[in-house]
């Protein structure tokens, strides 16, 4: 299965820095929707990401539920309201629209995970 997205992202490495690269097109990108499978031995959800021309197939493991006790029993601190100077809004990132969808070097997917309330599922967009 696939989902059509108007924009997609990937992480790129330049020298010592990792950058988020976004690409937009008037054409929709078909991004695969992968289904996690619960491993009965580990209790983890596993997603097998298919091989591409540049990368072999690999598996991502996901912890399906939050741990019941993180060891920290302190209450969550309450942050004070901002009463100082005005906040200047920063412009959003520049997204360059390309004339056609080009999937060379892109390896992204969507998977469904249970939502925080445990009453449904929510999509998660993953860039590798």
pLDDT in tens, the chain (128 residues): 888 888 888 877 777 888 888 888 776 778 889 988 888 898 888 999 888 887 889 898 888 766 566 677 777 777 777 777 776 776 766 655 544 444 556 778 888 877 666 677 788 888 87
State residue 100's pLDDT score. Answer: 45
Write out the two tokens for 14.
């330049």
Provide the strand spans (E) within 1-128: 2-14, 17-32, 37-38, 45-49, 58-62, 97-98, 108-114, 121-127
* CA–CA gap between residue 32 and residue 38 (Å, rounded): 19
Lay out the sheet containing 45-49: strands in order across. 37-38, 45-49, 58-62
pLDDT digits (tens, 9 = 90+) for 16-50: 888 888 888 776 778 889 988 888 898 888 999 88
Q: What is the pLDDT of residue 101?
A: 47
């Amino acid at each position: 299965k696939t989902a059509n997205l108007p924009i997609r992202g990937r992480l790129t490495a330049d020298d010592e820095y990792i950058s988020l690269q976004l690409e937009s097109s008037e054409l929709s990108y078909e991004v695969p929707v992968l289904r996690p499978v619960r491993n009965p031995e580990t209790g983890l959800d596993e997603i097998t990401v298919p091989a591409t021309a540049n990368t072999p197939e690999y598996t991502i493991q996901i912890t399906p539920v939050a741990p019941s006790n993180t060891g920290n029993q302190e209450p969550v601190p309450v942050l004070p309201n901002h009463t100082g100077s005005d906040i200047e809004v920063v412009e959003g990132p520049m997204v360059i629209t390309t004339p056609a969808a080009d999937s060379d070097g892109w390896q992204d997917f969507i998977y469904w995970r249970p939502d925080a309330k445990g009453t449904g599922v929510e999509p998660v967009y993953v860039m590798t």
